[in-house]
């Protein structure tokens, strides 16, 4: 049977599948649900609590009411049963008013939360048509959820032919894993919660193990590259030239980099570290070592602001050591760009710093031996590989990550790279104090901001949205900015910036803030990286419970960069998750807690060179499984396990052929 043989799959729906990368029945079967709707149990309305998705049943107290607000619509009613009632609202679904009467019995599934007045409600639930543990697939244009489920049921009749076993029996037995076909069948249409857990554990184990095996093979096959001679005292001379002493971790990591540069194999190393650990100094150290060996380096940053900051720092640190530095970004004037391209081509600039402009077709390097990408999570593998291909011979590659990731997970996400962890902060840094601020204490917070501004200090206020949304009761940057301009902070100089803002306006606003011309910057998470303002001492994060812990930690890292005491205020009701952030400034401890609470699905979702690693990973993997698969791989790579390692490698290369092709692009 072919994909085109499935009933209910016309031309438009087939094109939608192709656009999603689904061309065969195997592709379809390995497209697992992103989540599940458990409609097996009805929750009495009187027992509804915020925070979870539940199934409820009852009758409307009265006919639903349709309202309009700024071009948006909402249909509201109060659902009642013998235990109580619950407000229901559908946003931008006006047809719901016509489909429901006061006599209509409704079975609904959705999330219970609170509106802006703090009242319980269920927003935009679905009407339940069938009971069970129902799969929810990622949205594919033109294919309704019910149709997608029917396509899967048809495809499952060919499961045995399409999805053969990938793990050796001895490995499955050793780790108590079910057979693959059982796992795939139960992952689509589980008979029970127990069977679903068994299925997802099996598929998650498979994905994590095979990806790590494929990446380990890739690391072991790293090509011969540019060999850069490094003098024995080069690292010491670099550190002695700086106005501050290096930490032990910095010295260790630079020695690791030096060893890689002097090797005949092309370096592939990620330097991972917490906010303020000194990764930039390490990048400049690597550039110095390359320049001493006669080679050019390119450092790619995700934003022009960060590229400019790196250039200023590089001139201060590297040019006294004889390393000439230059900048290449997208917004340069024609003459300026021509001069920059000439300096790069001739090798006059030994350190070329820029944005994506560094990988433009017309950029030719003189003697490129080292490429560095900063803020690794902002770049896809393809982008850093394109930069690497600018050299005649495979250059050494160094990537920097400012997002702390538990080491085990980092080995999975960046399996094609060796890993160096800068796990020590420079002495003298004042830890940022973090507090949870409930809504009733907002006025006191504004008084604190006014007092800080009177001392010449600055403040960030970060919002999860740009514009107001009736569908989400969260603060928008535009609304907060308008309210503050005419309200409690009207005496201060306020600025507004967000990701979709015109580039020139965004750059101008952030530069004004950095120059001290703005007291309070209202922003979205656009300021999460690449903004360094030492006089900013206050970070306010609206609706903090909408962010992951690691992202909150990154935002907190925007303050505490000067000598003054700094604060991070989390606007939310107190909960155990946010209290973690108040108790520690250790980014790795926070990331591990985030991983435990959210699972690796959100982390794995940040990968930019392919879809989910393998079916079930985002749904079924946890910290313990990450550690178990890592230990399994370590064991079968030891002497005496050659047959097991060979079998796993075969499956890994087959399973990840497309992803590995992208990673190994050359």
Helix (H/G/I), strand (E/B), else coil: 371 = strand
pLDDT at 592 over 50: yes
Section 16-43 average pLDDT = 90
Q: Is 125 helix (H, G, I), strand (E, B) or coil?
A: coil
Q: Is the pLDDT of residue 125 over 60?
A: yes
pLDDT over 80 at 242, yes or no: yes
Q: Cite the residue boundaries of each domain of the chain with CATH code 3.40.50.300.
A: 234-262+275-403, 433-584
Quickly state the pLDDT bin for 130 (edges 50, 70, 90).
Answer: confident
Q: How far is CA 79 from CA 7, 92, 266, 471, in A?
A: 38, 19, 64, 19
Express each pLDDT in 498-534 by its tens digit: 878 887 888 889 889 999 999 999 999 888 766 778 8
In this prediction, residue 67 has a pLDDT band, given cuts at 50, 70 and 90, of very high
Per-residue confidence band for 655, with pLDDT thresholds at 50, 70 and 90: confident
Higher pLDDT, 489 or 527: 489
Instruction: Check whether 661 has a pLDDT greater than 50.
Output: yes
Q: Is the pLDDT of residue 461 over 50?
A: yes
Distance (Å, whole) CA 402 – CA 273:
6
Per-residue pLDDT band for 557 (boundaries 50, 70, 90) equals confident
pTM: 0.66
pLDDT at position 601 is 45
Q: What pLDDT does 459 receive?
A: 97
**Cβ atoms 622, 599 nearer than 8 A:** yes
Long-range contacts (CB closer than 8 Å, 24 or more residues apart) made by 387-394: 387/298, 387/300, 387/358, 387/359, 388/666, 389/665, 389/666, 390/298, 390/358, 390/359, 390/363, 390/364, 390/365, 391/226, 391/365, 393/224, 393/225, 393/226, 394/223, 394/224, 394/225, 394/226, 394/266, 394/666
Residue 417 has pLDDT above 90, yes or no: no
Per-residue pLDDT band at 428 (split at 50, 70, 90): low
Domain with CATH 2.40.50.140 in the chain: 41-127
User: Tell me: the pLDDT tens digits for 364-407?
Assistant: 999 999 999 886 544 555 555 666 677 777 789 898 876 666 65
**Count of residues making up the chain:** 666
* DSSP-derived 3-state class of residue 223: coil
The CATH code of domain 41-127 reads: 2.40.50.140
Which CATH architecture fits 433-584? 3-Layer(aba) Sandwich (3.40)
CA 526 vs CA 251, 299, 626: distances in Å? 32, 21, 31
Tokens of 655: 């399973």
User: What phi, psi does 364 have (nearest 5°)?
Assistant: -120, 125
Q: What is the pLDDT of residues 312-371, one digit of tens each?
A: 999 999 999 999 999 999 888 999 999 999 999 999 999 999 988 888 888 999 999 999
Looking at residue 467, its pLDDT comes to 53
Rounded CA-CA distance 176/179 in Å is: 10
Question: In angstroms, rounded to a whole number, what is the distance separating the alpha carbons of residues 140 and 17?
Answer: 7
Quick one: pLDDT band at residue 1, thresholds 50, 70, 90? confident
Q: What is the pLDDT of residues 606-630, one digit of tens each?
A: 333 334 445 665 566 666 787 788 8
Pick the CATH number of 234-262+275-403 from 2.40.50.140, 3.40.50.300, 3.40.50.670, 3.10.110.10: 3.40.50.300
Collect all residues with Cβ–Cβ distance below 8 Å to 421 and sequence separation of at least 6: 249, 272, 273, 407
Lay out the sheet containing 433-437: strands in order across: 433-437, 567-571, 536-541, 458-462, 520-523, 494-497
Closest CA to 633 of 463, 366, 408: 408
More confident residue, 636 or 407: 636
- Asked if the model's pLDDT at residue 81 lies above 60, the reply is yes
Mean pLDDT of the chain: 85
What pLDDT is attached to residue 145? 85
Q: Lowest-confidence range among 156-160, 415-419, 613-617? A: 613-617
Task: Kindly provide the residue ranges of all beta strands, DSSP E only, lying in 423-469, ordered along the sequence.
Answer: 433-437, 458-462
Tokens (6 digits) for 546: 């909408």
Query: What are the pLDDT digits (tens) for 190-241?
Result: 999 999 999 999 998 998 888 888 777 766 655 677 899 999 999 999 999 9
């Amino acid at each position: 049977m072919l994909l085109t043989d499935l009933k209910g799959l016309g031309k438009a729906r087939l094109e939608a599948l192709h656009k999603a990368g689904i061309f065969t029945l195997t592709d379809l079967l390995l497209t697992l649900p992103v989540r599940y709707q458990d409609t097996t149990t009805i929750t009495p309305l009187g027992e509804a609590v915020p925070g979870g998705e539940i199934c409820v049943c009852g009758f409307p107290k009265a006919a639903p009411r349709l309202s309009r607000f700024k071009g948006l619509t909402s249909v509201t009613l109060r659902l009642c049963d013998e235990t109580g009632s619950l407000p229901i609202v559908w946003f931008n679904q006006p047809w719901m008013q016509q489909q429901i009467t006061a006599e209509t019995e409704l079975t609904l599934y959705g999330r219970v939360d609170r509106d802006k007045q703090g009242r319980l409600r269920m927003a935009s639930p679905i009407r339940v048509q069938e009971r069970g543990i129902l799969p929810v697939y990622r949205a594919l244009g033109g294919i309704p959820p019910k149709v997608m489920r029917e396509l899967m049921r048809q495809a499952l009749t060919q499961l045995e032919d399409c999805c053969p076993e990938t793990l050796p029996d001895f490995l499955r037995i050793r780790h108590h894993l079910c057979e693959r076909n059982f796992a795939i069948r139960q992952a689509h249409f589980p008979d029970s919660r127990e069977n679903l857990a068994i299925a997802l554990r099996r598929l998650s184990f498979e994905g994590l193990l095979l990806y790590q095996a494929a990446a380990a093979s890739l690391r072991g096959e790293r090509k011969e590259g540019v060999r850069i001679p490094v003098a024995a005292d080069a690292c010491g001379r670099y550190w002695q030239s700086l106005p501050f002493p290096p930490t032990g971790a910095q010295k260790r990591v630079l020695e690791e980099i030096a060893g890689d540069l002097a090797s005949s194999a092309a370096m592939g190393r990620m330097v991972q570290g917490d906010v303020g650990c000194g990764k930039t100094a390490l990048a400049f150290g690597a550039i110095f070592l390359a320049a001493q060996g006669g080679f050019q380096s390119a450092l790619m940053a995700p934003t022009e602001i960060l590229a400019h900051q790196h250039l200023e720092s590089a001139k201060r640190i590297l040019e006294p050591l004889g390393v000439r530095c230059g900048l290449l970004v997208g917004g340069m004037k024609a003459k300026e760009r021509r001069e920059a391209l000439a300096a790069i081509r001739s090798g006059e600039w030994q350190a070329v710093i820029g944005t994506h402009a560094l990988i433009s077709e017309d950029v030719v390097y003189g003697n490129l031996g080292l490429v560095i990408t900063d803020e690794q999570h902002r770049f896809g593998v393809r982008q850093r590989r394109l930069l690497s291909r600018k050299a005649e011979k495979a250059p050494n590659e160094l990537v920097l990550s400012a997002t702390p990731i538990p080491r085990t997970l980092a080995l999975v996400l960046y399996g094609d790279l060796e890993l160096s962890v800068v796990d020590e902060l420079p002495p003298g840094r004042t830890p940022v104090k973090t507090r949870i601020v409930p809504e009733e204490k907002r006025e006191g917070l504004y008084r604190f901001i006014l007092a800080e501004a009177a001392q010449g200090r600055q403040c960030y206020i970060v919002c999860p949205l740009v514009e107001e949304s009736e569908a989400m009761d969260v603060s928008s940057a535009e609304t907060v900015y308008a309210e503050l301009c005419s309200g409690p902070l009207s005496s201060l100089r306020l600025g507004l910036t967000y990701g979709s803002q015109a580039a020139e306006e965004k750059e101008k606003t952030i530069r004004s803030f950095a120059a001290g011309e703005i007291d309070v910057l209202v922003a979205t998470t656009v300021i999460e990286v690449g903004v360094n303002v030492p006089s900013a001492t206050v970070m306010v994060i609206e609706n903090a419970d909408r962010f992951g812990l690691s992202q909150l930690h990154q935002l907190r890292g925007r303050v505490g960069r000067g000598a003054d005491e700094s604060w991070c205020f989390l606007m939310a009701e107190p909960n155990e998750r946010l209290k973690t952030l108040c108790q520690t400034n250790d980014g790795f401890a926070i990331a591990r807690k985030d991983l435990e609470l959210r699972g690796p699905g959100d982390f794995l979702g940040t990968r930019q060179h392919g879809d989910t690693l393998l079916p079930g990973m985002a749904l079924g993997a946890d910290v313990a499984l990450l550690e178990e698969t890592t230990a399994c791989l370590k064991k079968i790579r030891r002497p005496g396990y050659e047959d097991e390692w060979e079998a796993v490698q075969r499956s890994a290369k087959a399973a990840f052929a497309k992803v590995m092709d992208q990673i190994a692009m050359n």
